[in-house]
Amino acid sequence: MPKTYGQDGMGDKAIAYLHYFSGGSDWYITEKDMEDEQLQAFGLANLGQGGELGYISIQELIDAGVEIDLYWTPKTIGQIKGASSEDGNQGTETGGESTEIQQSTGIPAAISTEDTIKAGFIAELEYLKSETDINRFDERLDEIAARIEQAGLMESLDKELNDAADALTALLAAAEKGG
């Protein structure tokens, strides 16, 4: 997934790699910050009124109970909005399992559905590391781990889960020192 400004200026040709939803509202993530201290993403937020591009806090979405679409296939913003793309290679389906996307470099990139789902879980685990409430951290980690197991991705996301568990251990150790 591109970091913030990675698809700047692409407009409707920018690719949404993650999709979150709740009720009639949808959030399509095109870019996200990779630094621990910056917890934001950029994309299209559609609260049922057509949508608007802007910064999105994935943490706020998660806290509000918004769900990640585990079956999402990356699409351009134009496809999501129903706009016709000037470039016929943008977001062309290649059989359901992946989408071939013609990047501005001219090199096609295949993105599997599994990679998209993993990226969503990794984003959630990264944002979780900023949690300072031990009980909330533990609760969210258990919830995310259960969904990862349900998706059959425990083995492939083992390192990320262990990193989050290490962050919880460090938080517990700091609380013991202070108390």
Residue 6 lies in a domain: no
Q: Is residue 19 part of a domain?
A: yes
Does residue 173 fall inside a structural domain? yes
Gap between the Cα atoms of 155 and 158, Å rounded: 5
Model pTM? 0.52
Identify whether 149 is part of a domain. Answer: yes
Q: Quick check: 128 and 122 in contact, CB under 8 A?
A: no
Q: Over pLDDT 70: what percentage of the chain?
A: 75
Contact 122, 160 (CB under 8 A): yes
Exposure b/e, 57-78, CB count within 10 A at least 16 = b: ebbebbeeebebbbebbbbbbb
Q: Is residue 45 part of a domain?
A: yes
pLDDT in tens, 129-143: 878 888 888 888 998
Residue 5 lies in a domain: no
CA dihedral 154, 38, 16, 5 (to 10 degrees): -140
Q: Does 4 fall in a domain? A: no
Residue 107 belongs to domain spanning = 11-178
For the chain, report the end-to-end CA distance as a whole number of angstroms. 40
Q: How many domains is the chain partitioned into structurally? A: 1
In a domain, 2, yes or no: no
- CB atoms inside a 10 Å sphere around CB 121: 21
pLDDT band, very low/low/confident/very high, at 27 (cuts 50, 70, 90): very high
Q: What Cα–Cα distance (Å) separates residue 137 from each residue in 12, 13, 126?
A: 36, 36, 12
Residues 136 and 80: beta-carbon distance below 8 Å: no
